[in-house]
Structure 1
Amino acid sequence: QVVNGAIAVTQEAVPFTSDVLPVSLVQAVARTQEGVVADDPHDSPVYAQDVYIRRKRPRSVLCVPLMRYSTLVGVLYLENNLAAKVFTAAKAAVLEVIASQAAFALENARLYDDLVEQNEQRARAEEQLRAALTDLARATRLKAMGELVASIVHEVGQPLAAVDTSASAALRWLSRSPPEIGEAREMLTHISRSATRAKSIIQALRAKARKAEPQFTRLDLCEALREAAALVAAQLDALNVVLELRGLNEPVYVHGDRVQLQQVAINLLTNGAESMAALDTERLLVLACTRGADRMVHVTVDDLGSGIAPEVADRLLEPLFTTKDNGMGMGLAISHSIVDAHGGTLTLAPREVTGTRAGFVLPRLDAEGT
């Protein structure tokens, strides 16, 4: 722009309106993709009605499309307000060459801006992903910690309950006249075994939290099951449950962790006993061990309770899911993980008449331990 005889160059983004250029002329060039050179366009019947032409009355106008590979990327508009016929054919040809180069420059600038924006979007997405992964890791740690706490509360609660029951019984025996020393001694022995079991459970849970490798050995499963039955005897008596043992007289060897497998058996026995709490008839619980022809050993716990509701059958092994009013939903989940770590399978199924059969299957070792 020439202002007071001097050339003034301004560079700014402005809206595409009749305030800054002849809209109809520019639109015609963009539509036809052909350049226009006009002298005194305010006298032209084609452009005289344009609002900008009528108001500014430019003397010489040149407008050429900016093309890149037959694609319109912009329009170059030039005007001279002082003289007509400024844009000669030679000048127009030069400007068309410049317009061609400008088209490439504009398109490259647009592509660069797009690339910068994409990189910024990718950086933002990566930052959001890192934040999400951090939150997920924190949530996972909190969930694992919560499950560990629930496991400790659930599993240690059983031997502590046995300690409380046995301690109360021992006090009653000692309070008699004369004191029943032999019975009290038996209760104290039971307290000692329960305390040892609680310690073993805590050590096992700590090892699991540290992801330590389990310490498996060759063991007599039937002997371990008899010990587990003895540990819950007082609890079953308090619930008026009669426990019957079947097939536990002969040794059956497996490769595993004694405390963990006893933990599974006690969970199944406790669940079976509690399921019969509302029965007015005999409360019979059967713990059985059988040797399968498939070199597997089958352990089952049969109760006479209300059985398994079909709508919850698929969720019983989920952590923190429970059907008990005061349950924590960890017993079966822990038992499932233990049996799975031993290469076995934990199952829960309704019995033909009434009640539930809970059990697990483990690989059996022969007498030589193979």
Structure 2
Amino acid sequence: MSSADSYLRRLRSKVATDRLEAARYFAENAKPADEKALREAASQESVAWVRNALARAIDRLSPEPGKAPPRGLADRDDLPEGFASQVHAEALETTTAQLIHEIEPLVGSLRLSAELEVQNYDASSTKENIDRLDDFLAALSRLRRAASAPRLDEFSLDELVEEIIQTVDLPAGLEIQKSGPQHCIVVGDRTLVQMSVVNGMRNAVEATVATGAELNELPIAVTWGRTDRDCWVSIVDNGIGFKGNLSRAFDIGTTTKDGHMGMGLAIANQSIASMSGQLLLVPNERGVRFELRWPQSKEA
């Protein structure tokens, strides 16, 4: 069986990630003979990520005689909603995967050599710098996961929020005020939501501690819920506020904190964008509201 035949079979899979991988294959390798099957798959596809990848596959095929060649992406006004952001996400996922593949073994070899060759390695600046490289690779892995096609399923949002609060390192005296429905079952990618909420919680804690004030006077409010249309989590702190350029807050490498890589908000934003949702940073008179929303649907 040829590769094309194998991927055509995967287009009929009940698993969305299998269909997405097949659609991405045809986006790069589609032949005119595949067009009928691709159009049939596109007409039946309910997941936007897969549908848009199929649209690219169909678009790359040789035009029929007398038919105008496909326009470039920049000239088109008939692209599906969210098409550009999904192309960006796929490029981000591919790039981070390649970086991890190339860098990870080099860092491993560097650590092994340093442990053998550097005296008092555990207390050395060499170890500190290699640890930062490991942290960078871990951040790249989270960014890759954030950019991947979401794995949608039902989960308990209130249990997830409670789990995150229990794992965040809270300084003595800092109170978390929680408010939201119990047994709040939502649809989404639990891992992507978790990465976003963890980032929001850590930022809220750091901003509150940075005030230097009595922590018991500066509680952090965490609320959550769902409607017929969407699901949401909101984290409101009374900290020092957002000190950078708000319009660039989600750019990779943007940070105002010493020792930070500036990837946390980028990962959080991409995680929610992958579910066709939105992350909001809203400065208050004191502190910031960190709010994420995503559609209550299995068709992100």
Provide the TM-score with structure 2 as the length reference.
0.49
Which structure has the greater CA radius of gyration?
1
In terms of fraction of residues, the more strand-rich structure is: 1
Provide the TM-score with structure 1 as the length reference.
0.40
Q: Which has the higher contact order (CA 8 A, sep 6+)?
A: 2
